[in-house]
Amino acid sequence: MTTPRFSTVGIVGTGAMGRGIAQIAAQSGSTVLLYDTQAQAVAKAREAISAQWDKLVDKGRLAPEAAAAQKDRLKPAATQAELADCDLIVEAIVERLDVKKALFAELEAIVKPSAVLATNTSSLSVTAIAANLKRPEQFAGYHFFNPVPLMKVVEVIAGLKTSAETCAALTEYARQMGHTPVQAGDTPGFIVNHAGRGYGTEALRIVSEGAADFATIDRILKDQVGFKLGPFELFDLTALDVSHPVMESIYRQYYNEPRYRLSVITAQRLAGGVVGKKVGEGFYTYVDGVAQMAAEPPVPQVKDLPPVWVSTRAARRSELLQLLKDLGAKIETGQSPSPEALTLVAPLGFDVTTVAVVERLDPARTIGIDMLVDDKATKRRVLATNPATRSDMRDAAHALFARDGKAVSVIRDSGGFVTQRVVATIVNIASDICQQRVCSPKDLETAVTLGLGYPMGPLAMGDQYGPANVLEVLFNMQTVYGDTRYRPSPWLRRRGAIGLSLMHEEA
């Protein structure tokens, strides 16, 4: 085994995060001293970690001798004074600035001058925690994700006075523990919690407009983009008593930046105790741990489908026309639709109402379809009505686009429908993280892919769907809603304007 960068490591806190860090530190070869103000908590934590190793032995994934050695390296510390000889101490306690500052003041007075101190904070300022320390250059953020043994990314965060040597040592040690380190600036949310703001908050805005329900939005984002969990499934898994305070903290720390604005929906549900899967009720009700989702509406039975006319300004118009041909639609080719025609628009960022008015189309017969993503690459088509759309036209469009068996969701009018606005928000926030130099594009992609489980990094997502298309979605949504939330980041605007990859860094 490689000699670990830190031979003796102290872990303060025995919650799930502290236990996870202690487990991987002992596995790396370090002697680990586990400390908590409650002695019985330390004993329970050691038992829990040992049980994890025993399971690995039973599965044949860990040799009994290795498990015994790891258990021997995991030791209890009855007092803080026993941490005096540690090379590194990682704190994983309550997310309160005053408590963390007090703890590190006590630890700095105990440890040897060469020791590195690190906080696992997910949302507090590393600089603020270290403000009163005598050796702030030896203090950094070391943010792991739960469950630590499985979530293989760790953010190494430099405060204003953290030395490069301290970050380099923590980076090396993360690799020795089998994790992937990424370098982050000391900004609210660092990388992962910052980049993750767009997914849930934009989905909440769609619900708050009455465009679609929780299950429909989850289905659309899983089937069209490839997310493993829909935003409301994710909220239920992480629990609102965890996720809402993080959303609020980042929003407030950025002085109410509109891009991070959260929703009264989560505040209300948190107040009512409807926080997620762990209590059996969140955005979904859970029976034996399984979410109870209402069945999708059936495909309408329509005897005679009307002819279809496609707007000349539709996104991916040639692909849409070919799709209609494949579905057996009767396509009108005139400059304007006949009085009987189902009128299709495929805007980027605009709502169906705006397009109908601008193009002087009959809103009663106008339906929108989201064509941001290539139809061949999706498992679901999304249609949007406007307030005047007739029910027979809505049903005809639904029946037509479901002819080949592909799932179809029909929602109410929404600027950017669902996929466009969520993807654009994710890409825009990620672009601004790079613009602020919080991290490199490469570390951003790594952190988000490993930390959030997205199907691809947000910058790669922007490149795949086209920076110019994402820009158009944002510009048009800003027009529809008049909200600075959708103003494009300079990083995205400049690269989109001159045809560069969003991964491109300036020389």
Residues in Cβ contact with 223 at an 8 Å cutoff, skipping those fewer than 6 apart: 378, 379, 380, 407
Cβ–Cβ contacts within 10 Å for residue 134, how many? Answer: 10
Which of 455, 456, 453 shows the shortest CA–CA distance to 503? 456
122 catalytic, yes or no?
yes
In 130-176, alpha helices (H)? 164-176
Residues in Cβ contact with 392 at an 8 Å cutoff, skipping those fewer than 6 apart: 302
Which of 108, 125, 143, 428 does the annotation list as catalytic? 143
Which of 122, 249, 476, 489 does the annotation list as catalytic? 122
Residues in Cβ contact with 63 at an 8 Å cutoff, skipping those fewer than 6 apart: 57
Termini Cα distance of the chain: 40
319 catalytic, yes or no?
no
> In b/e form, how buried is each residue of 66-101, taking b as 16+ CB within 10 angstroms?
ebeebeebbebbeebeebbebbbbbbbbebeeeebb
Cβ–Cβ contacts within 10 Å for residue 185, how many? Answer: 17
233 catalytic, yes or no?
no
What residue type is 350 in one-letter code? F
Cβ–Cβ contacts within 10 Å for residue 119, how many? Answer: 28
193 catalytic, yes or no?
yes
Which of 91, 108, 155, 445 does the annotation list as catalytic? 155
Which of 30, 123, 193, 476 does the annotation list as catalytic? 193
Contact 95, 67 (CB under 8 A): no
Which residues are known catalytic residues?
122, 143, 155, 193
